Chain A
Amino acid sequence: MDNFITRRRRHELLVAAGLLVFAIVAPMFIKDVTTLNVIILSLLFAGLAQAWNILGGYCGQISLGHALYFGMGSYVSTLLYVHAAVPPSLGMFAAAAVGGLAALLVGWPCFRLSGHYYAIATVVVGEIGYLLFLNWDYVGGATGVYIPIARPSLLNLQFGKDKLPYLHLVLAFCAATWLAAWVIEGSRWFYAWRAVKDDVVAARSLGVNIFSSKMAAAAISGAFTGLGGAIYGLYVGYIDPDSVMAGHFSILIALPAVLGGVGTLWGPILGAALLIPMKELSSSYLGGSGRGVDLMLYGAMIVIVALAQPQGVVSLFRRRAHGPA
């Protein structure tokens, strides 16, 4: 099967490998902690947006409740470590399982709703989860949970003050989500999901099972989001519902994909590379109350992209698809 699609996919893999090598090596020469922090967060949200894109982009099920899977991932890995001494290097896989399971549980009733109603339902479910964790004493309630500081080790995924290992960990997460998306693009799911997104009635007339297609996308998306949550918890060392489960996380997970290009392979990474540095810079330069200002900047950016490049920033790099083939 040596055709234009195979060639394009091979090309994508080569570009990704090149970027990966660059992203492993380049930060070794960066000593500035703030810069490293921005890179870590950008990679994290690139991975999260890639995970969101599997459900929201490919399958067209807009979720505004991914903070729930993210937060549950952080809690699972942290609590397993605190209460059961399970090292986070294992706990993060439990976090992924729980994230995927949670997405399935949300999907079971909510995928019976179509279009905007699914999006609205995910907002509500996300808020319910946030309130539950806020009032649940076993998981620390509003006080949150500290991850006990251990001797730096790969098993505990603790590296003390050294940021570089965290960066490489988050990079591995980002690369894994990209690779998952790439594999999906070569599978029948990729076609079924986009058919579901474009026209449900036509899709099922061709033998595409709508419900299980959505559930499969949700499970993969939720699992990677839970994994990202676990890694984030390790990195910040302390979690509470506000820092891992608040509603704005759901938006922050979806935005890079929307900004970069919904349903595209490179959109989430591109969107995160633009959005997260801008967010971090604006909140550090525009003062302690800059939270509102950086949200205004997002808003402006989204409006500009929506007006000028509704397909996302990634479409700037694409050869014009509508010229003579």
Chain B
Amino acid sequence: MALLEIRGVSKSFGGVAANVDISFVVEPGEILGLIGPNGAGKTSLFNAIAGEVTPDAGEILLDGARVSGLGPVACAGRGIARTFQVVRSFDSMTVLENVMVGAFSRTASAGAAMKAAEETLEFCGLAPRAARLAWELSPPEKRRLEVARALATQPRLLLLDEMLTGLTPTEAQEGVQLVRAVRDRGITVIMVEHVMEIVLPLVSRAVVLNLGRVLTIGVPGEIVKNPDVIRAYLGDRYAAA
């Protein structure tokens, strides 16, 4: 059975249709890419899955149970965790404390939360920075911190919003390894990226969005050859070639 099912989700913001009748499923254990040009509606769909916005129509099911409209707190409780396109760290708190906030969603004990947070930091390669204040981290470290914080909630589904965008090739490679390690832990991943060459080698399948609609769904090899995808990214002239 599919872990996540998106059924006919539509969402408009003040007359601008961000998502129109979007449907697809996410299988357990896969890394799914959500790609498309700027303004395709990727982040909007992300926010719907994470519970931050409620779709105008359609529904989102996690393990067969409806999660759309429940709000972000309930979604986090059900096992959906996320990172943000523009990094949001708790800047007055240490790196360890940032991750503890996530860990407290599964335990009330400060000792247990700290232990879980330490393990998660170790897993994400941030253990040496645990005692630092979050604002002191470099941009790639902050993205790792977001992943660590999300993982600390023990999610079943992790939503990564442009986690690799804006990184140097080396940093992006390290990011890719982290995503693979997360998947190997049995956590299903959906990644939003608009840089195709980073995301395609990593994902098992990709959903391409354009102008708020699903353009195509397929394995990376098919996606890059699809004329519609080329048209959406590069324009009509290249599609003919």
CA distance A202 to B150 in the complex (A): 10
Assess the A204–B97 pair: CB atoms within 8 A: no
Interface pick from A87-95, A143-151, A184-192, A302-310: A184-192
Instruction: List B contacts of A5 (CB < 8 A).
Output: 110, 114
Asked if B101 CB lies within 8 Å of chain A CBs, one says yes
Q: Mark interface residues in A1-37 (1 if CB within 8 Å of B CB, else 0).
A: 1010100000000000000000000000000000000
CA distance A186 to B114 in the complex (A): 11
CA distance A199 to B88 in the complex (A): 7
Assess the B153–A207 pair: CB atoms within 8 A: yes
Assess the B92–A188 pair: CB atoms within 8 A: no
Instruction: List B contacts of A197 (CB < 8 A).
Output: 92
Asked if B66 CB lies within 8 Å of chain A CBs, one says no
The answer to whether residues A1 and B114 also contact, given A191-B97, A191-B104, A192-B101 and a CB cut-off of 8 A, is: yes
The answer to whether residues A203 and B101 also contact, given A187-B110, A188-B108, A198-B91 and a CB cut-off of 8 A, is: yes
Assess the B52–A201 pair: CB atoms within 8 A: yes
Assess the B113–A206 pair: CB atoms within 8 A: no
CA distance A204 to B79 in the complex (A): 13
Minimum CB–CB distance for B77 against chain A, Å = 6
Instruction: List B contacts of A84 (CB < 8 A).
Output: none
Instruction: List A contacts of B72 (CB < 8 A).
Output: 204-205
Minimum CB–CB distance for B133 against chain A, Å = 7
Asked if B17 CB lies within 8 Å of chain A CBs, one says no
The answer to whether residues A195 and B90 also contact, given A5-B114, A205-B81 and a CB cut-off of 8 A, is: yes
In this complex, what residue of A is CB-closest to B80?
Answer: A205
Q: Mark interface residues in A295-313 (1 if CB within 8 Å of B CB, else 0).
A: 0000000000000000000
Assess the B104–A192 pair: CB atoms within 8 A: yes
Assess the A205–B82 pair: CB atoms within 8 A: yes
Contact of A198 among B52, B92, B114, B131 (CB under 8 A): B92
Assess the A206–B76 pair: CB atoms within 8 A: yes
A186, A194, A206, A263 interface centre (most CB from chain B within 10 Å): A206
Instruction: List B contacts of A203 (CB < 8 A).
Output: 90, 101
CA distance A204 to B80 in the complex (A): 12
Minimum CB–CB distance for B100 against chain A, Å = 5
Minimum CB–CB distance for A5 against chain B, Å = 7
Instruction: List B contacts of A192 (CB < 8 A).
Output: 101, 104
Assess the B93–A208 pair: CB atoms within 8 A: no
CA distance A5 to B115 in the complex (A): 12
Contact of B133 among A186, A202, A321 (CB under 8 A): A321
The answer to whether residues A199 and B90 also contact, given A3-B114, A191-B101, A207-B76 and a CB cut-off of 8 A, is: yes
Asked if A135 CB lies within 8 Å of chain B CBs, one says no
Contact of A322 among B52, B82, B108, B136 (CB under 8 A): B136
Asked if B231 CB lies within 8 Å of chain A CBs, one says no
Give residues of chain B (51-76) contacting chain A, Cβ–Cβ below 8 Å. Answer: 52, 71-73, 76
Assess the A195–B111 pair: CB atoms within 8 A: no
Instruction: List B contacts of A263 (CB < 8 A).
Output: 92
Instruction: List A contacts of B50 (CB < 8 A).
Output: 205
Assess the A325–B132 pair: CB atoms within 8 A: yes
Asked if B84 CB lies within 8 Å of chain A CBs, one says yes
Asked if B226 CB lies within 8 Å of chain A CBs, one says no
B90, B100, B113, B150 interface centre (most CB from chain A within 10 Å): B90
Asked if A209 CB lies within 8 Å of chain B CBs, one says yes
In this complex, what residue of B is CB-closest to A60?
Answer: B92
Asked if B33 CB lies within 8 Å of chain A CBs, one says no
Asked if B36 CB lies within 8 Å of chain A CBs, one says no
Minimum CB–CB distance for A320 against chain B, Å = 12
B52, B73, B84, B150 interface centre (most CB from chain A within 10 Å): B73
Asked if B105 CB lies within 8 Å of chain A CBs, one says yes
Minimum CB–CB distance for B94 against chain A, Å = 9
Minimum CB–CB distance for B237 against chain A, Å = 41
CA distance A198 to B134 in the complex (A): 11
- 10 interchain pairs, CB-CB under 8 A: A1-B111, A3-B114, A188-B110, A191-B101, A205-B52, A205-B76, A206-B101, A207-B105, A209-B73, A325-B132
List the 9 closest pairs (A to B, CB-CB), nearest first: A207-B105, A207-B76, A1-B111, A202-B88, A198-B90, A188-B104, A204-B72, A325-B131, A195-B101
Residues of A participating in the B interface, judged by any CB pair closer than 8 Å: 1, 3, 5, 186-188, 191-192, 194-195, 197-199, 201-209, 263, 321-322, 325
Besides the known contacts A202-B84, A202-B89, A206-B149, 18 further A-B residue pairs in the complex with CB atoms under 8 A apart: A1-B114, A3-B114, A188-B110, A191-B113, A192-B104, A194-B93, A195-B90, A202-B88, A204-B72, A204-B76, A205-B81, A205-B82, A205-B84, A206-B81, A207-B73, A207-B102, A208-B101, A325-B131
